[in-house]
Structures are given as C-alpha cells and as structure tokens.
Chains A and B, each alone.
Chain A
Amino acid sequence: MKTQFLRSLAGLAGSTAIALAGVTAPAFAQWTGGDDLPTNPLSCDASTPAPAPVAYNGGQPADATAKAGMNLRVVDVPKLVGIGYFNATSAGVAEAAGDMDDMSATTDGPAQANIDDQITLIDNYITSGVDGILFAANDPVAIAPLLRKALGAGIHVVGYDSDAEPDAREWFINPAEFNGVAKTLMDELAQQVGEDGSFAIVTSTFTTPNQARWIAEMEAYQSKCHPDMEWLESVEAQEDNILSFNQAMTLINKYGDDLDGIVGMTSVATPAAAEAVTQAELCGEVAVMGLATPNAIRPYIKSGCMEDAVLWSPVDMGYAALHVLRAAVGGTLKPGDTTVEAGRLGTLQIVNGSEVLLGDPVVFNAGNVENYDF
C-alpha cells in the first residue's frame, strides 16, 4: 500500500512536470489514448462470428407502456448544435417525425460540447414534461444520474452516437460496432501504408468515449493482425479545425520520412489532416484516412490526396433513433428482442443487450463519394 502511494506520488510529480513544461506527449510511452475497457478485436480475415447473445442491460421507464397510442413530444439533444454532423442527425430525426403523425420532435443542444450545459438543458426538458428524450452524451457517466431521473419520471430515453451507462437509457443506436470500425480502419490503413508502415492518430480528446473506444480497439486489432505496423503517437485536437490542422502539421514535421500515414478519428480531424498533407506537398507519401463525412473529404479524394474514409450515415442514425423510441413506447420493442423495425431502414439487429446496430460502416472512395450528400 505504501509503495503504491509513493509510486502514485512520483507519477503525480512526473505528470505535473510534464504539464508545467507544456509538453503534450503522453507520460506513458505505451499509451495511445485508448480507454481501459476490455477490447474484443475481430478476426483478421473477413469472417464475422455471430455475436454471443447478451441479456437486456438497459433501463426501463416507470410504467413503460403508459404512453402507447398517445401523441408524443420528443426532444433531441445532440452533443452540440451547429456542426454538420449533428445537423445531419437532427435532419434524420425530423424525417422520422414526418413519417409518423403522432410524434413531434425538436432538436435543442448546447452551443459547445459541454457536460454542464447539456445536463442543465436536459433537466429543464424533464421538468417541462416531454414524453421522450433522444441524446448523444458528452460524457457517459456525468449524464447518467439525470437520464435515470427521466426514466423514473416515465420518460422514454434512447441514445445515439455516444452512449451513457446502459441502465440510464432504454436503447442505444450504435452507428457501427467499435471493433468493426477499428478493423475497417486498420485494414484500409495497412493496405495504404504497408504492413511495416508507421502512422499517427489525430483524435478529439482522450476522454471522448467513442474515440477512446475506437483507439483501444484499433490498438488491440493492430497488435493481433498487423503486428509490424508502428504506432507513433496519438495527439488531441478537440473537434477543432485549426487545431487539427496544426497537430497534423506538427506530426509531419516531427516524424518526417518516418510518417507513412495519419488517421483522423473525428469528422473534423480527417479533412484537416488531408489539408495539412496537401499543403506540405506530401500527397502520395503520407496517406490520410479516417472517419469523415463525404462532403468534407470529397475535394481530397478528387485531388487524389486521399483514397477513402470511413463513416456511417448520421441521417440514418437520427432516423433510427426516433423509430426505436416509437417502437419502445408502443410496446413493439421489448427487452429481450433481437431485432427492431425502423421504417425505411428495414430490420435492424440488436447487439450487446440493448444496442441497436445501424449496420456496417460505409467506406467512401472515388467510386461512391458522389452518391452521398452530408
């Protein structure tokens, strides 16, 4: 116990020194920005084993079927408003509300991705007596007490994009499984930079749940299936365009010829990294790929500086979220179900107990990027 205390103290002193020196490199050389949760890398070939069934682990609202058949007022609270990605999810929510004549849905979110603002906002909507809440959490734990309060008040709660603790909501629309995204990203990257290539990551922050989870899964999959690739560094860039560009530039200057590829973990970082590589005139030498919306990366795919990027349709995600909420209210989606009907998306699978899987991630490349507009 005592030695552990001393070690923590030394670690603290070390971290403090780093913070004081203004160095952004992680203190632990091995650490790449992933979270501490267990990982589940997929097999290296294309075979996908059937997922093991998991018992329902979501929460249920007080008197779950009381609102069946009633007109519902639903509020959609994304992480923040005013960015293209969440504009697309709220367009999907609005589309689904238009499908159904007994639902009204409004989108309202904080102007910045701030946990306190998001919590206050949702709290006021609970007081105002909405019937349903759709959310994309800025922090999975911080939002949970409040969502439990909503469930306790008989409000139906469905998450999308960024989850909360499972028992704080009924269902979660999982845009793509973390290990599936990790596999797609690493396989695409390996194909572009080679099995002995070295690469760096530009992410949002190391605590953003989705990004941390993807990175952890990528790390596990890479050490299993692409063991000779070298993971140089992960850097934080918020979800800020200029900061992402600067961080990508720093990586290019810092590693020079050792850098074969940059992976952007946010829809902001990937096009910013492509812009940095373009301006450094390293197209073809430093590969850029990652998560991105088709509109943002179209110019780089056209100029040949990027081959492809990976994402799902945020419009479909918002669309599915409202349909799942409707199904949960109406009693057609109950704990223990394995599939759910979601309008034009057809039948969606339920995985991990209470997560509705949107489908496989989409790879945008020169062949199909013109077919999407978001």
Chain B
Amino acid sequence: MINRHSHEAVLAVLAALAIAVLALQSAEFLTPANLMNQGRLMTEVALVALVMTFVIASGGIDLSVGSIMGLSAVLLGTFWQKMGMPLPLAMVLVLFSGALCGLFNGFIIVRFGMPPLIATLGTLALYRGLAEGISQARSVRGWPEWFAQIGQGSFAGVPVQVWILLAAMAVAVVILGYSRWGRTVYAIGSSETAARFAGLPVDAAKYAVYTASGLAASLAAIIFVSRVSTTRSDMGTGLELDVITAVVLGGTSIFGGRGTIIGTVLGLVVIQALESGLSLAGIKGDGTIVLIGVVLILTLLASTFAESRARA
C-alpha cells in the first residue's frame, strides 16, 4: 500500500507544507477570495490535465492540446459571429470539433502505429496552422452577458468553471480508479502486448483517451474565451507543457501504467499555490518558474527514493 501511494503521500505533505509556508509569507494568500480566484485561473490547465493523466497512464502523450484549444477558440468565434449560428449551437459544435481533432490523433496513432509523441507533434503544428488560417488574425469580441458568466461568473460563491472542474474530477476519479476502462488504460500502459493478449479493447481505449483529450481542450477553450472575452489564434500556446508538468509532478509515470487523478490534482494544487503564493510574497515571475522546475525534480527524486526503500 505504501508502495502504491507513496508518491501521493509525498506530494500531499509537500502541498500542505507549501501552503503553510506561503500563508505565513503573505496574509492575502490563504483567503477564500484568493483560493476561489486561483481555482478560476487553473481550471483550463486542470481540465486538460485530468484527461492527460489517462493519456500518459496509457503510455501515450498528447502535445496537441494547446493547439486544439487555439483552434477551438477560433472556431467558436467563427461559428457564432462569421456564420451567424446561435451561440449554444456553436459551443456544441466546438466541443464536437475538439473531439474530432482528438479522434484524428487517435486515428494516426492506432491505425498507423505512429508514436504518440511524433503524431501529436505533427498535429500540434497542423491545428495551430488551421487556427491561424481560419482566424485570418482577427479576433471575435462582444460576447453576450450569459456567455461571460461561464468564465467570469460565480454560482453559490464558487466560480462557475470550478463547478465544471469539480464535476470533471469526480467523473475522472471514478473512471480511472473504479472502472473496467480505467484498468484497461493501466494495462495498456504497463504492457500493450500483454493487454492485447488478454483480449482487452486496446484500440478502442486509445481512441477514447485521445478523443477525450481533444474534448477537454475544446471545453477549456470555451471557458478561456469566456474568461478573457476575446478569441485569438495563439490561445493555449505552451498549454501542453503546463499540463504535462502537473501530471508528471502528480506521479503519473511517463512510461505508462501508473498514475492517479488524485495525484494530478495534488500536482496542480502545488503548482498553482507556488505561482500565486510566491507572487504574493513578492517574488518575481522568473524566480517562480525556476522554483517550480526544482520542485518537480526534487519531488520525483524523493518519491523514487521512498519507493525503492519500500520495496527493499
């Protein structure tokens, strides 16, 4: 048991420690208003990271999520303003097209056996290029008030997108931790060959995780557009790195077969707490980036060490 959850334990201690220390450094850090606000700021990365946990646990990776986010943002503006569709329909179509982008990733990976790193590196460029071509570098503005509520409003004192995130977390925890689908993902990540011989639906599971990854990126795009009230084709640039950092910090093995949603959530919390807390404590942005890199490496070292001790 210690063996299996040692990383989450290390991370939980680290998160508690970081929050305690940062709260001492700045009186504004551990306030309900700031915590809600940080939840608002981390939702887009967190949504994509939840699904990325599945992708990486299955032994894959998806580098195209940032580009799918940019393409989805541009498509939302195009569908709604340039084509005159009702906004709810445009939102549904954007989610659909995001899922389609993910499905296409899955298609290249499954059908042609291309390594996910290469396949999604290619679609990273492809989807970003499409976003730039379709947007013609114009942004779409003037969103209706109800739409702005998704990214800027609150429900029962909690930002609207945090409710969406909490719901997505619950679903992800159940699927990865307690369902046959989740066990299939781990099995593929541990040994794809063994999973195939065991008669597991390997191809279907891979299609599913990449499609879900695209869907999450397009949902993140809708929330982001609502939060900043404009569309740009460069939205989501570099998102993949933030997401993968959180997932790996959360203990998901980059080789597949291991990883939990709780770990990813803890990883997200540690990063967000450091970014916000250090900024409030008066440390500049470049210092924060350095510290996050150091924390990532030290945490993984500590958990590898704890694991080898537990095994021995």
Contact = CB atoms under 8 A, between A and B. Distances in A.
A367 interface: no
A141 B140 CA distance: 10
A125 B279 contact: yes
B138 interface: yes
B9 interface: no
Contacts of B28: 127-129
A143 B235 CA distance: 13
Given A127-B280, A142-B230, 20 more contacts: A5-B84, A8-B83, A12-B83, A16-B133, A19-B130, A20-B133, A26-B136, A27-B136, A31-B136, A33-B137, A81-B285, A106-B284, A116-B235, A119-B228, A123-B37, A124-B280, A128-B280, A139-B139, A141-B230, A206-B137
B254 to A, nearest CB: 25
B245 interface: no
Most chain B beta carbons < 10 A, residue from A4, A26, A128: A128
Interface stretch (A107-115, A184-192, A290-298): A107-115
B276 interface: yes
Interface of B: 26, 28, 33-34, 37, 41, 78, 82-84, 129-130, 132-134, 136-139, 141, 148, 152, 224, 227-230, 232-235, 237-238, 275-276, 279-280, 282, 284-286, 289
Nearest to B277: A124
Interface residues of A, number: 49
A110 B41 CA distance: 16
B284 A108 contact: yes
Interface string A117-159: 1011101110111000000000101111100000000000000
B290 to A, nearest CB: 11
Interface of A: 1, 4-5, 8-9, 11-12, 15-16, 18-20, 22, 26-28, 31, 33, 36, 81, 106, 108-112, 114-117, 119-121, 123-125, 127-129, 139, 141-145, 205-207, 236
B37 A110 contact: no
A110 B37 CA distance: 19
Contacts of A205: 137, 234
Contacts of A8: 78, 82-84
B19 to A, nearest CB: 15
Given A114-B237, A145-B227, A145-B229, A19 B133 contact: yes
Given A12-B134, A127-B37, A22 B280 contact: no
B144 to A, nearest CB: 14
A15 B84 contact: no
Given A26-B136, A144-B229, A111 B286 contact: yes
